[in-house]
Every structure is written in structure tokens, then in C-alpha cells.
């Protein structure tokens, strides 16, 4: 089953779409099966992946409104190693129509259940708002990847997003978790950037990715050519950073899987031992107890017999001496 990750931040311009495109491309380079879902009416993730957002009849809009099968809206561009569910301005109309549908927050989750077995990772590029589209992404997802700039206003937006995630956890999707916080557009010359970065690590610890996405001209140019950075300029700093992020995500997943397997094995071992103790037949226990008691009884009996023989042996010499000392009868 695929791991479904929503890439979200209600603040615009923090690198959500750039991260969605380039992370999917980087994971595709590692032979993972990846699907990118464009859930933003602007359709930037679609065009950034080299797909014409106006040339496809079926889009994310049709999937959400149950107007087609999920697989019918998925395209496989020839020049990239991941699939795309495109989006365009029609998604704005879908957002309005969803408001009148019962269970509207589960539309995407139900749609993805048809195809999630075909992928290792599914990434959802969310719009820069906490609306019904973002809510659909949160209900469908296992985790949320939060790209953010190391700036003061980004911290304020983060607190609001975390509150929304907490509300979703407590109502419609208890499995939702923070997958990680990604520092984007980082400028090492900026003192404020370092301060905000340190605050993030202090509060979120291991949930902050070690990989940092730097400001990079080539990374900014790539979308205008309809190519992810790993194809546009693989040796650029931006490409190296997203390839490193893909590696970090894979290592985290492998470590988590190993921990789950170890915990499962330990639980099974404890359960087997407990079952073995409780499944023993009571009559068998009684018989074993009797067998253990018999040697003790036999030992006790042998001890008493030895004591009797010793007493008899002590009495016989006494009688013999008395007989020898008696004077002869004349």
C-alpha cells in the first residue's frame, strides 16, 4: 500500500509545488512508484511536471466529483518517472460543488483507495489555503509534509496549520501525523534564517528534515521549461538537495519499518509464551506434580528403613556382649 503524504502550508510562496514536483522526480529516480496529485486549481504542479493542464478531459476535479474512475484521470508523462493526476481551473468549481455533498471530506480518500496499491508513494500538492480541498488531502493522507521558509511570518502560519492537523486527528483521521518539516529557500547568509531554523529543531526535533533546500536560480528556472530540477540540471545545488531529501525519506521509512517489525516480533513471542502456559492441561499439571512428589516419598521411606536397620545393628552387639560377660553356670 502506498504512503500518502499531503504537502501543505496555508502560506503561499514557501515551495510547496516546487517540493511536490522535485521530490516525486527524485523518488522516481530511485525506482519507486510515485503518483503526484495536483489539488491546486492553479495547476502549477501539472505544468511543472511537463503536462498541459488544458489538454486533458479528465482531471482531479472529475475524480473528486466521482465523474470517472481514478485511474482514468492519471497520466504518465514520457519524460518523467512518476505519474500525474492533473488539475486546472475547473477544480475551483468542484470546490463549490463539494460543499453540498455529504461526506465531502472523504471524496479523495475513497478515490485513492482504487489505486493506492499501485504505488509506493502518493504526494498531494495542496492549495495555499485551509479549505475543503486541503481537508480532503488531510483525510486521505497518512502524514503531512510542511515546507516552510525560515522567516518570522512562516512560524505564525505554522501554528495555525498544526492546529488544523490536530482537529483532523481528533475527528476524521486519527492516523494523520506530521511527516516532517522541510526548510526551503534557505539562505545561509541570513542570520534570521539560522535563528528560525534553530527554533524549529528545538521544538520539533527529529521531525525537522536534516536536508535543507537552498535558494537556487536553476531550481527557479526549471518550471518554466516544464521539467523537474533532476532532469533540467542534475548537478545543481537544488537537484542535489532534493535527491538528498528523497534518500532521507527512504531511510526514515526503512527505519520505521524495522522498528515496527521488531515490535511485532516481540509481541508475537510474548503471546506464544503466554499461550503455551495457559494451554497446558490441568490433569497433566496434576500428574507432573504427583510424579515430582513420588521421589520425595520414596526417599523418605528409604530414610526411615535405613534408620530402623541402624538401630537393630546397634542393639545386636549389646546383646552379644551381655551374653559373653555372664558367668558360666556350674
Average pLDDT over residues 272-300: 54
Strand blocks (E) in 24-142: 34-38, 83-85, 121-125
Task: Determine the Cα–Cα distance for residues 168 and 178; give it in Å rounded to an integer.
Answer: 12
> Which residues make Cβ contacts (< 8 Å) with residue 66, sequence separation at least 6?
107, 111
Flag whether pLDDT at 317 surpasses 50. no
- Say what the pLDDT of residue 311 is: 45
* pLDDT tens column, 231-281: 999 999 999 999 999 999 999 999 988 888 888 888 777 766 666 665 555
For position 278, what pLDDT does the model report? 58
Rounded Cα gap, residues 65 and 61, in angstroms: 6
What percent of the chain is modeled with pLDDT above 90?
A: 62
Which residue in 125, 146, 123 sits closest to 28, CA to CA?
A: 123
Q: Domains of the chain, with CATH numbers?
A: 3-268 (3.40.50.300)
176's enclosing H/E stretch is none
CB hemisphere CA count around 269 (13 angstroms): 6
Enclosing H/E stretch for 24: helix 16-29
Q: What are 156-196's pLDDT values in tens digits?
A: 788 889 999 999 999 999 999 999 999 999 988 889 999 99
pLDDT tens digits, residue range 74-106?
999 989 999 999 999 999 988 889 988 888 999
Amino acid at each position: 500500500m502506498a504512503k500518502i503524504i499531503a504537502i501543505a502550508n496555508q502560506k503561499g510562496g514557501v515551495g510547496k509545488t516546487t517540493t511536490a514536483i522535485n521530490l516525486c522526480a527524485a523518488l522516481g529516480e530511485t525506482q519507486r512508484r510515485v503518483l503526484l496529485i495536483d489539488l491546486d486549481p492553479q495547476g502549477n504542479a501539472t505544468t511543472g511536471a511537463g503536462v498541459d493542464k488544458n489538454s486533458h478531459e479528465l482531471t482531479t476535479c472529475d475524480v473528486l466529483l466521482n465523474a470517472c474512475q481514478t485511474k482514468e484521470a492519471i497520466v504518465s508523462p514520457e519524460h518523467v518517472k512518476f505519474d500525474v493526476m492533473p488539475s486546472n481551473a475547473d477544480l475551483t468549481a468542484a470546490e463549490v460543488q463539494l460543499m453540498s455533498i455529504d461526506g465531502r471530506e472523504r471524496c479523495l480518500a475513497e478515490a485513492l483507495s482504487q489505486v493506492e496499491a499501485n504505488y509506493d508513494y502518493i504526494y498531494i500538492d495542496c492549495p495555499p489555503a485551509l479549505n475543503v480541498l486541503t481537508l480532503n488531502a488531510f483525510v486521505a493522507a497518512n502524514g503531512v509534509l510542511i515546507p516552510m521558509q525560515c522567516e518570522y511570518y512562516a512560524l505564525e502560519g505554522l501554528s495555525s496549520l498544526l492546529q488544523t492537523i490536530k482537529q483532523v486527528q481528533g475527528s476524521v483521521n486519527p492516523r494523520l501525523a506530521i511527516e516532517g518539516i522541510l526548510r526551503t529557500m534557505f539562505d545561509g547568509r541570513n542570520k534570521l534564517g539560522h535563528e528560525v531554523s534553530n527554533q524549529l529543531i528545538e521544538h520539533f526535533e527529529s521531525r525537522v528534515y536534516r536536508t535543507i533546500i537552498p535558494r537556487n536560480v536553476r531550481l527557479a528556472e526549471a518550471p518554466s521549461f516544464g521539467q523537474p530540477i533532476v532532469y533540467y540540471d542534475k548537478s545543481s545545488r537544488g537537484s542535489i538537495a532534493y535527491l538528498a531529501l528523497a534518500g532521507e525519506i527512504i531511510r526514515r521509512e526503512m527505519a520505521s519499518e524495522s522498528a515496527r517489525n521488531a515490535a511485532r516480533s516481540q509481541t508475537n513471542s510474548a503471546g506464544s509464551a503466554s499461550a503455551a502456559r495457559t494451554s497446558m492441561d490441568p490433569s497433566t499439571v496434576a500428574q507432573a506434580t504427583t510424579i515430582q512428589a513420588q521421589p520425595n516419598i520414596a526417599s523418605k521411606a528409604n530414610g526411615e528403613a535405613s534408620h530402623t536397620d541402624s538401630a537393630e545393628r546397634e542393639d545386636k552387639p549389646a546383646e552379644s556382649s551381655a551374653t559373653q560377660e555372664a558367668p558360666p553356670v556350674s
